[in-house]
A = this chain, B = another copy of it.
Amino acid sequence: MEFIFSEKVKELQAQVTLFMNERIYPSESVYREQLYAGTDRWSAVPPIIEELKREAKEQGLWNLFLPDERYGAGLTNFEYAPLCEIMGRSAIAPEVFNCNAPDTGNMEVLAKYGSEEQKQKWLLPLLEGRIRSAFAMTEPDVASSDATNIRSSIRREGHHYILNGRKWWTSGAGDPRCKVFIFMGKSNPDGPRHEQQSMILVPADAEGITVERMLPVFGYDDAPHGHAEITFRDVRVPAENMIWGEGKGFAIAQGRLGPGRIHHCMRLIGAAERALGLMCRRAAERETFGRKLSDHGVVLQWIADSRIEIEQARLLTLKAAHLMDTVGNKEAKAEIAMIKVVAPNVAAKVIDRTIQAFGGAGVSEDVPLAAMYAGARSLRIADGPDEVHSQQVGRMEMKKYMEKAGLSK
């Protein structure tokens, strides 16, 4: 495990940090104003975003997430981690660098498993940031943390597939620029358990697609991005939209979730760092009972606990990233599961303490804390709830023990 960042990465860190300081943070309020200026927050993306994207692209701070050199920056997970963390400090930053979920995951899937035609049609515009996409996997009726539970159907009919099902938490579906979904469903119900599902590309304007509603997260609807509940009723797509091949859905999901989870963790650590910085600022500025908050022992304890938790979470994230790079996502399974539990919990705790330090302002929009909390809290559920990951970590530990002890279960 190598924890020194290379010169290349250090330079990128400096560049991204500079961009954050000079362009992103000052634009957060602009974004907000533009968002609320229109009549409908869902109809258009605040123009500042496209402006910032242009600048980031010009500076080469673009598609840093993509390990495939043909299409992206060609960075390893370990190299991308410290950059992704910095982007995670602002809710508007990831997209500016074309590094936001779920587009990143979708681009990876296309880069890895897409046909040439699929790449031309969907990957290139995504890489250029001209369109956006969504990932229609999670379903309201089943525990979707186990992808084999997915029930929506994909039925072959001549040169087409017919899609049916109800999806929710399809994030990004609200974006007016969202042009394509990756849809997961059961195409081969009689196949072996891990080969029943497929993933297929569906144009966002296909007939039979109804966005039923946008789901809020602790009162935030995240417009115009949004989290949609969608019905697919007899949606017909050409057979060549199938990704990789029938029955490959589970395999693709596995490949997609590793990086997706760890990117979330990196961003969460960035969010926690921002919160800790805000806590220090508040502690330096606010006075109660005749003393600066920073002179109250309890507040210093919060700051110390937060620093200690962040430090550890970051190291574990880096270790997981390093393992993914060196021994592969499968071998890094335990570490990915661990960090998927740790990062959202640490972020939520640090943000919660910062909210408390801010008092009433903390739960309002005067600081980005409440929204950050909602995001961190949701990530204790999204991509598999804490408990599923913990049980898995526990079982892997038991398995390791049993093997070492020469026992069989």
A14 beta carbon closer than 8 Å to chain B: no
A354-409 contacts to B (CB < 8 Å): 355-356, 359-365, 370-371, 373-374, 377-378, 380-382, 385-395, 397-398, 401-402, 405, 407
How many angstroms from the CA of A271 to the CA of B407 in the assembled complex? Answer: 23
Contact check, B316 vs A312: say whether CB atoms are below 8 A apart.
Answer: yes
Contact check, B300 vs A359: say whether CB atoms are below 8 A apart.
Answer: no
Cβ distance A340 to chain B, nearest Cβ, rounded Å: 10
Contact check, B304 vs A393: say whether CB atoms are below 8 A apart.
Answer: yes
Stretch of A152-160, A231-239, A290-298 that contacts chain B: A290-298
Stretch of A23-31, A192-200, A211-219, A259-267 that contacts chain B: A211-219
How many copies of the polypeptide does the oligomer hold?
4
A169 beta carbon closer than 8 Å to chain B: yes
A287 beta carbon closer than 8 Å to chain B: yes
Stretch of A40-48, A106-114, A277-285 that contacts chain B: A277-285
A33 beta carbon closer than 8 Å to chain B: no
On chain B, the residues within 8 Å of A294 by CB distance are: 398
Cβ distance A308 to chain B, nearest Cβ, rounded Å: 5
By beta carbon, the residue of chain B nearest A346 is B312
On chain B, the residues within 8 Å of A145 by CB distance are: 288
Contact check, B143 vs A312: say whether CB atoms are below 8 A apart.
Answer: no
The count of residues in chain A whose C-beta lies closer than 8 Å to any C-beta of chain B is: 89
A329-358 contacts to B (CB < 8 Å): 334-335, 338, 341-342, 352, 355-356
Contact with B along A204-243 (1 / 0, CB 8 A): 0000000000011111110000000000000000000000
Stretch of A1-9, A62-70, A183-191, A246-254 that contacts chain B: A1-9
Would A298 and B387 be within 8 Å (CB), given that A393-B304, A407-B284 are in contact?
yes
Contact check, A402 vs B363: say whether CB atoms are below 8 A apart.
Answer: no
Contact check, A360 vs B391: say whether CB atoms are below 8 A apart.
Answer: no
On chain B, the residues within 8 Å of A313 by CB distance are: 312
A32 beta carbon closer than 8 Å to chain B: no
On chain B, the residues within 8 Å of A216 by CB distance are: 219, 363-365, 370
A305 beta carbon closer than 8 Å to chain B: yes
Cβ distance A325 to chain B, nearest Cβ, rounded Å: 13
Contact check, A146 vs B289: say whether CB atoms are below 8 A apart.
Answer: yes
How many angstroms from the CA of A297 to the CA of B293 in the assembled complex? Answer: 11
How many angstroms from the CA of A355 to the CA of B386 in the assembled complex? Answer: 12
On chain B, the residues within 8 Å of A218 by CB distance are: 218-220, 363, 370-371, 373-374
A138 beta carbon closer than 8 Å to chain B: yes
Contact check, A359 vs B143: say whether CB atoms are below 8 A apart.
Answer: yes
On chain B, the residues within 8 Å of A397 by CB distance are: 276, 280, 303-304, 307
A319 beta carbon closer than 8 Å to chain B: yes
By beta carbon, the residue of chain B nearest A342 is B308
A11 beta carbon closer than 8 Å to chain B: no
Cβ distance A182 to chain B, nearest Cβ, rounded Å: 18
Would A363 and B217 be within 8 Å (CB), given that A387-B298, A393-B307 are in contact?
yes
A168 beta carbon closer than 8 Å to chain B: yes
The contact sample of 27 A-B pairs, CB cut-off 8 A, is: A2-B4, A140-B361, A143-B287, A146-B289, A216-B363, A216-B370, A217-B364, A218-B370, A219-B219, A219-B221, A277-B401, A280-B401, A281-B401, A294-B398, A299-B394, A300-B391, A303-B393, A303-B394, A304-B392, A307-B334, A307-B397, A311-B316, A312-B312, A312-B316, A360-B382, A362-B381, A363-B381
- Interface residue ranges, A against B (CB under 8 Å): 1-4, 138, 140, 143, 145-146, 168-169, 215-221, 276-277, 280-281, 283-284, 286-289, 294, 296-305, 307-308, 311-313, 315-316, 319, 322, 334-335, 338, 341-342, 352, 355-356, 359-365, 370-371, 373-374, 377-378, 380-382, 385-395, 397-398, 401-402, 405, 407
